[in-house]
Structure 1
Amino acid sequence: MPTTMQSWQYTSTKTGLENNLTLAIVPMPQPKPGQHLVRILSAALNPVDYRLSESPLLHRLLFPNPASPGDDFAGTIVVPAAGSSLRAGQRVFGAVGTIFMCGSSMSTYGIASTSNVVAMPAGLSMAEAAGITIAGGTAYQAIIPNSKPGDRVFLNGGSGGVGTFGIQIAKVAGRLVTVSCSGKNVELCKSLGADEVIDYQTQDVLETLKASPHRYDLVVDLVANNRALFWQAQEYTSIEAKFVTVSISHQLSFIWFVATAQLLPSFLSGAKRRHLTVFGSLKEEDLNQIAEWMVEGKVRAVIDSEYKFEDVREAYRQLKTGRAKGKIVVNVAPEEESKT
């Protein structure tokens, strides 16, 4: 058992997270009761890795110093938690760390709560499994509890990590799916099962929804760039429709929108449709279901790009362009290591 490990860390985000990351040699983490020690073989990036850390106030108040980014991982159990059914050497995926904003998945080892890790079924690669947790879990929780088979679902933003999982999860669960995306991603969304695609570069998304002969039963907003989609939702959704916002931001405008959308009653010019916010809390049964669908070929991982461990800074630069199709994955160590 090594006594040290490699970990990408930062103490400031003044010029952007990616410009402040340094690869450090740090002591091996020591798991507490209810935690596994895991070997991280692949890790996936998420916007939450940088969005909150780049707020000077939140960084100063909530983040450790130094901090290490990342949550999603796939790897193996090194030391299982006492009482766990998982065993040393078993392939697993989930989330590492105890702070979702900086779980330290951009490291060679990590600690993971027993509730945040599930066994990886045969048939998945480390890179495929690494991107499931936050994106897949968020898509599942936004769609499945808030709709039923046969419902019409609109996903605003279909080509990112959550969107690509969302299209497939909705389809395998029997929903009719309409998505928005840029023109270059139309074919990708269709290949994942989208029934209708709105190209936001050539079509006005809101007006296209209003003009549709259909009424939508669920709207999942993955972009949060047009508040009118919610405030005018009664013009293109069914009476019992739900509007789910999937986003995390420290911006006051976003916080004010969520507060008014959920609390301001309709008779005071508030919402005409029910608003919910989903942050993607981890649930073992959700992760197991998504992994099962993937093994069965009903859902596939969409990987935009893969980076070597030494190129983590470049991976975050790609993430921040906002143009990634699916997930960005960092291969921390060769997958063959899990077979030795």
Structure 2
Amino acid sequence: MKAFVLRSYGSPDTLELTDIDEPVPGDDEVLVRVRATSVQPYDWHLIRGEPYVARLMGGGPGLRKPKIGILGADVAGQVEAVGRNVTGFRPGDEVFAMPKQGGFAEYVCVRESELAPKPESLSYEQAAAVPLAACTALLGLRDDGRLQPGQKVLINGASGGVGTFAVQIAKAFGAEVTGVCSTRNADLVRSLGADEVIDYTKEDFTRSGRRYDILLDNAGSRPGSACRRVLTPKGAHVIVGGPGGRWLSPVGRIFSSLVASPFVSQRIVMADVVRCTENKQNLMTLTGLIEDGKVTPVIDRSYPFAEIPAAVRYQETGRAPGKVVITL
């Protein structure tokens, strides 16, 4: 099969399109023929090995060279073969998943516990936009933020991959939603259901005087101390991401916020994306919201498989509203 393989850190052009052996599913795995995948900040951070401090951490990308050879954390496709212990799927089934790696290839093996039937109303392209970004938004709001109906939610970075899902999920859960984005994306965020939009090019949301029960912070554009000003006394600052940096950022910003956590009344928590791969029930929850018409993937651009490096370069600019997807 053909796959884009990462053998060393560098620019997206270090991704090498090559022929490798087709994977063989284990007893509890499903072999999926990839019809679509997506790119996201997770990919270009791994390609560049940044921030450098992450290479020193357990479970990090690898000190001198990448630990992950084939990137691509989102997959939508068809079941090609199943392991002997797999009971919930059979060849030909349409599925989507977040296996953490392997999507930048024609085939990938996925554990049955990471897999769910593809929402019938979505194309492969749309389904590939869902897993990582939507699970991050779902867990950040529902589990980390402990969102309740009627609460006020502020989403910083409301027009990005996670943000576009977060606006819709928060509204589906009965929240009053304010989105922070640029002027050019304000109409998009309103169309997703935001009750109010703050244009960060014209207004600093941390100085508005308004208070929120949850701040889902995808952008990391303001210091933690400033972010706490917009929260109610028992509010939650859920940190998802932030601007890139070669050495420390966004790790340094996240660390400083968590250090302050024991000394303030608000909860400060870092979203744990790993949980997205541990329970396919999250994907089933999202499917329910999608089939009910409450959540729709926002796709900015679509690239063919051969142009994955170009897609990653575009994603790295940070200007994509919604998701960037790849079709095979």
**Which of 231, 237, 240 pairs up with 2:231?**
237
TM-score, length of structure 1 as denominator length: 0.86
> Aligned partners of 1:225 and 1:234: how far apart in 2?
13
Distance in 2 (CA, whole Å) between partners of 1:129 and 1:46 is: 15
For the residues of structure 2 that align with 1:89 and 1:175, how far apart are their CA atoms?
A: 39
2-side partners of 1:139 and 1:107: how far apart?
Answer: 26
Q: Deviations over 1:225-249 (max 9, x none)?
A: 211xx31344332111010000277
1:174-189 equivalent positions in 2, closer than 5 A: 174-189=174-189
Q: 2:38 aligns with which of 41, 44, 57?
A: 44
Distance change in 2, residues 1:66/1:166 (3 Å):
closer
Question: What pairs with 1:58-69 in structure 2 (closer than 5 Å)?
Answer: 58=55, 59-61=61-63, 67-69=69-71
Counterpart mapping for 1:1-340 below 5 A: 5-14=1-10, 16=11, 18-55=12-49, 58=55, 59-61=61-63, 67-81=69-83, 82-96=85-99, 100=100, 103-145=101-143, 146-208=146-208, 210=209, 212=210, 215-227=211-223, 230-247=224-241, 251-264=247-260, 270-280=263-273, 281-282=275-276, 283-332=279-328
- % identical equivalent positions: 30
The offset of 1:63, in angstroms, is 5.7
Secondary structure, counterpart of 1:288 in structure 2: helix
Contact between 2:153 and 2:178, CA under 8 Å: does it hold in 1? yes
TM-score, normalising length: structure 2: 0.89
Paired residue type of 2:70: S
Q: CA deviation at 1:206?
A: 1.4
Give CA-to-partner distance per residue, 1:180-222, whole Å, 9 cap, x none.
10000000000000011010111122112x2x3xx21001100
| Distance apart, 1:271 and its partner CA | 3.6
CA distance in 2, matches of 1:26, 1:94: 22
Change in Cα spacing, 1:125 to 1:240, as seen in structure 2 (3 Å) is same
User: Which segment drifts farther, 86-95 or 112-121?
Assistant: 112-121
Q: Is the 8 A contact 2:29 2:110 kept in 1?
A: yes
Q: Is the 8 A contact 2:134 2:165 kept in 1?
A: yes
Q: Structure 1 residues 256, 66: closer, same or farther in 2, change over 3 A? A: closer
Provide, for residues 292-327 of structure 1, a one-character-per-residue CA deviation record: whole Å limited to 9, x for no partner. 221221111100011111111111111011111111
Aligned residues: 312
Q: Could you list the per-position Cα deviations for residues 244-276 of structure 1 after superposition, in whole angstroms to 9, with x for gaps in the alignment?
A: 00027784343343334224466xxx4442100
Deviations 1:96-132 (A, max 9, x none): 3xxx3xx120100001111211111322110111111
1:65: how far off? 6.6
Q: 1:55 to 1:88 in 2, by over 3 A?
A: same
Supply the AA of the counterpart residue of 2:266.
R
Give the 3 Å change call, closer, same or farther, for CA 126–265 of structure 1 in structure 2.
Answer: closer
DSSP-derived class of the 2:297 partner: coil
Instruction: Identify the range of structure 1 (46-55 vs 301-310) with the bigger mean alpha-carbon deviation.
Output: 46-55
Report the CA distance shift for 1:265/1:176 in structure 2 as closer, same or farther (over 3 A): closer
Q: Deviations over 1:143-182 (max 9, x none)?
A: 1232100000000010010000000000011000011100
For 1:300 and 1:234, the matched residues in 2 are separated by: 31
Runs of 4 or more above 6 Å deviation: none
Please report how far the alpha carbon of residue 289 of structure 1 lies from its aligned counterpart in structure 2 after TM superposition: 1.6
Task: Kindly state the Cα deviation for residue 33 of structure 1 after the two structures are TM-superposed.
Answer: 2.5
C-alpha spacing 1:124/1:34, structure 2 compared with 1 (3 Å)? same
Partners in 2 of 1:35 and 1:54 — Cα distance? 30
- Residue 336 of structure 1 corresponds to none
CA RMSD of aligned residues (A): 2.0
Do the aligned residues in 2 keep the contact of 1:233 with 1:272 (CA within 8 Å)?
no
